[in-house]
Amino acid sequence: MRFAIFDLDGTIVDSMGYWRGFEKAFLIENGIKEENIKKLSKNEWIGSDWVEALCHFFNTEYGFSLTPEGFRQWGIDFMMRKYAEVIDFKPGAKELLNKLKEQGVKMCVCSSTDRNIMEPVLQKYDLDKYFEFTLHCRQFGKEKNDPDTFRYCMERLGAEKPEEVAVFEDAYYAATTAKTAGFYSVCIYDVNEKRTYELKNIADQYVTDYAQLDLDKLPK
């Protein structure tokens, strides 16, 4: 294999549980007992900014005086702490990155997380040494439901066509975008991805540990 595009959260590092759980962590940190935590129904935030919806919900239900800016900053600080202190590699990820680097594979990170937020984990594990660059969807202007995001990474790596590139993902929506666009799809299990069955069906290879990956089947 010559080229690879990696997601970060849930694919290289085991961080999705913290991304999915920081609303609950906020309430507990601010004195709300776990048994008193109420869930915000999907109908209450469909079509709205999810941070604004959560702020309104927390302020109404628990008497907080949150602003969206303040809550966003709390979430950023929370995730940066977790990246620095507790978040570790997904099974076999470090070994795979080392192996691919030794083989001269050109790799990049394509993430929906901003660079400044993930910086602690990049520094902690010296991850930049593996990658040609990191691409961040918000700054790029397109998300991973748009195949142009993956095509841009492909071209910047120096590949000429999607079939030459393996995309490593844990999220069904992103893996589907890449697969539909012609990329080779490697998917890894994450407990926070609820569409595991569908993910297995669209993956060229599906693993729970990168030690299970058949390197001979990757694009030549």
Cα separation, 102 vs 215, whole angstroms: 14
3-state secondary structure (DSSP) of residue 212: helix
Q: What tens digit of pLDDT does each residue of 72-96 get?
A: 899 999 999 999 999 999 999 999 9
Tell me what pLDDT residue 107 has: 98
Are 98 and 185 part of one and the same domain?
A: yes
Q: Looking at residues 135-141, what average pLDDT do you find?
A: 94
Assign 23 a pLDDT band (cuts: 50, 70, 90): confident
User: Above 50 in pLDDT, residue 43?
Assistant: no
pLDDT of residue 41: 56
Same domain, 51 and 95: no
> Could you write out the DSSP letters of every residue in 9-51?
BTTTBS-HHHHHHHHHHHHHHTT--GGGPPPPPGGGTTTS-HH
Report pLDDT for 40.
62
Which of 45, 69, 85 corresponds to the end of one domain? 85
- Residue showing tokens 């303040």: 70
End-to-end CA distance of the chain: 5
Strands laid side by side in the 205-207 sheet: 133-136, 106-111, 3-6, 165-169, 184-188, 205-207
The reported pLDDT for the residue numbered 207 is 98
Return the sign of the alpha-carbon dihedral for residues 115, 119, 123, 124: negative
Write down which residue in 34, 68, 85 finishes a domain.
85
201 shares its domain with 121 = yes
Q: Do both 79 and 127 map to the same domain?
A: no
- 66 with 106, same domain: the answer is no
Q: What is the number of other CB atoms lying within 10 angstroms of the CB of residue 81?
A: 13
Q: Give yes or no: residues 154 and 95 share one domain.
A: yes
**What's the CA dihedral at 191, 196, 200, 205 to 10 degrees?**
-20
pLDDT band at 22 (very low <50, low <70, confident <90, very high): confident
Stronger pLDDT, 35 or 10, i.e. the higher one: 10
Compute the average pLDDT of residues 161-175: 97
Last residue of a domain, one of 51, 85, 119: 85
Per-residue confidence band for 52, with pLDDT thresholds at 50, 70 and 90? confident
E strands, 57-173, are 106-111, 133-136, 165-169
Domain tally for the chain?
2
pLDDT per position as a tens digit, 104-117: 999 999 999 999 99
The model's pTM is 0.91
Q: Which of 45-49, 51-55, 58-62, 98-102 has the lowest mean pLDDT?
A: 45-49
Q: 35 pLDDT band (50/70/90 cuts)?
A: confident
In this structure, the answer to whether residues 137 and 199 fall within a common structural domain is yes
Task: Judge whether residue 195 has pLDDT over 50.
Answer: yes
Same domain membership, residue 73 and residue 162: no
Average pLDDT over the chain, rounded to an integer = 93
Range of the domain at 213: 3-13+89-217
Based on the fold, state whether residues 44 and 94 are members of the same structural domain: no
Residue 145: both structure tokens together: 């439901």
